[in-house]
Amino acid sequence: MKLNFIRHPSFLALLGVLVLTAAIFFLYNPDAPQRVSMAALTERLLEIQTNPLKSLPYTDEIAGMQRHLGEHGGPSDFEIPPGLRNQEGIACGVIDFESHPASIILTKTSVFSPSGRDVLLLAMSRAHIKNPPPTTRISYMQKKDIALAAWSDERYTYIMAARGQASDLETLLK
């Protein structure tokens, strides 16, 4: 018995549709967390910068802050920028952003003025972000009176925000 129908274009088209449908059914998971856009992440950080989180626990040491972040499910082994390492009054917390944890550090730095200025740093796994910033350079932008800097290393993407100019953030990142 010959199986001539196997070479028939209609059969091949139907077989292709069935394979594609099966692949979509088995590979697509609508409940799986989607990757986060940098624009949405930046907007969320701007909201936090303009309405600071009052409930963040304060600690006076980086090791305690990173331990707290890890204990609450957030990234904790990320690199702290040089200009934030020795600042006092550091606060931290973990936020859930589209089903992905992000760690936030809030510090008041006197680098820009004697009275101090709040600086926020957000760190999130680079794997959870659509089109993360490159690892080779820092991108700066200005949104009204808030300066933003975004960059990545091999594991994490970072966004820093503070009232002022981008040059202020450059000082903290050196």
Residue entry with tokens 């959870």: 128
Q: Are 80 and 62 in contact (CB under 8 A)?
A: yes
Q: Looking at residue 33, what is its pLDDT?
A: 55
pLDDT for 72 beyond 80: yes
Tokens of 30: 């609508």
Range in 11-20, 50-59, 141-150 with the lowest mean pLDDT? 50-59
Segments making up each domain of the chain, as ranges: 36-173
pLDDT for 25 beyond 90: no
Q: β-strands 156-163, 117-125: how paired?
A: antiparallel
- Cβ neighbours for 7, distance < 8 A, ≥ 6 positions apart: none
Q: Are 173 and 143 in contact (CB under 8 A)?
A: no
- The H-assigned helical ranges of the chain are 9-27, 38-50, 62-71, 82-85, 166-173
Give CA 52 to chain center in angstroms: 18
Tell me the three state secondary structure of residue 121: strand
Q: Looking at residue 164, what is its pLDDT?
A: 83
Q: Are 33 and 100 in contact (CB under 8 A)?
A: yes
Q: What is the pTM of this model?
A: 0.71
